[in-house]
Amino acid sequence: MSTIIPAPDALIGRRFDVAVAKMMGVSRAKATELIETGQARVIGRELNKSGILQLGDTVEINVVEEQREPEPISDEMTIAYEDDDIVVVDKPVGVAAHASVGWTGPTVLGSLLQRGVHITSMGAPGRQGIVSRLDVGTSGLMLVCKSDLAYKEMRRQFSEHEVKKTYHALVQGNLKEDRATIDAPIGRAKVSDFRFCVTPAGKEAITHWDVLERFGEATLASINLETGRTHQIRVHFSSIGHPLVGDPMYGANPKLSEALGLERQWLHAMELEFRHPRTHVTTVVSSHYPADLQHALDVMRQRHQLRDQNHEESVISE
| pLDDT digits 0-9 by tens, 190-208 | 766 578 999 999 999 999 9
- Between strands 139-145 and 267-275, the pairing is parallel
135 annotated active-site: yes
With cut-offs at 50, 70 and 90, classify the pLDDT of residue 65: low
Catalytic residue among 84, 85, 135, 292: 135
Which pLDDT value is given to residue 215? 96
For the chain, the structural domain boundaries read 2-62, 78-302
The superfamily (CATH) of domain 2-62 is RNA-binding S4 domain (3.10.290.10)
pLDDT at 133 over 70: yes
Measure Cα distances from 90 to 47, 77, 78, 178 in Å.
Answer: 40, 6, 5, 28
The superfamily (CATH) of domain 78-302 is Pseudouridine synthase (3.30.2350.10)
Residue 21 exposure: Cα atoms within 13 Å on the Cβ side: 15
- Between strands 139-145 and 86-91, the pairing is antiparallel
DSSP string, the chain: -EEEEEPPGGGTTSBHHHHHHHHHT--HHHHHHHHHTTSEEETTS---TTSBP-TT-EEEEE--PPP-PPPPP-TTPEEEEE-SSEEEEEEPTT-BSS--TT--S-BHHHHHHHTT----S-SSTT-TTBSS---TT-EEEEEEE-SHHHHHHHHHHHHTT-SEEEEEEEEES--SSSEEEEE--EEE-TT-SS-EEE-TTSB--EEEEEEEEE-SSEEEEEEEESS--TTHHHHHHHHTT-PBTT-GGGT--HHHHHHHT-SS--EEEEEEEEE-TTT--EEEEE----HHHHHHHHHHHHHHHHHHHHHHHHHHH-
pLDDT at 67 over 70: no
pLDDT at 312 over 70: no
With cut-offs at 50, 70 and 90, classify the pLDDT of residue 7: confident
- Mean pLDDT, rounded, of the chain: 90
What is the mean pLDDT of the segment spanning 212-237? 95
Measure Cα distances from 245 to 137, 264, 289 in Å.
Answer: 13, 8, 15
The torsion angles phi and psi of 258, rounded to 5 degrees, stand at -65, -40
Are residues 84 and 112 in contact, defined by beta-carbon separation less than 8 angstroms? no
| pLDDT digits 0-9 by tens, 219-230 | 999 999 998 888
Contacts of 35 (CB under 8 A, 6+ apart): 16, 17, 20, 41, 48, 49
| pLDDT digits 0-9 by tens, 68-116 | 567 888 989 999 999 999 999 999 999 999 987 667 899 999 999 999 9
pLDDT at 62 over 90: no
Instruction: Report the length, in residues, of the chain.
Output: 318
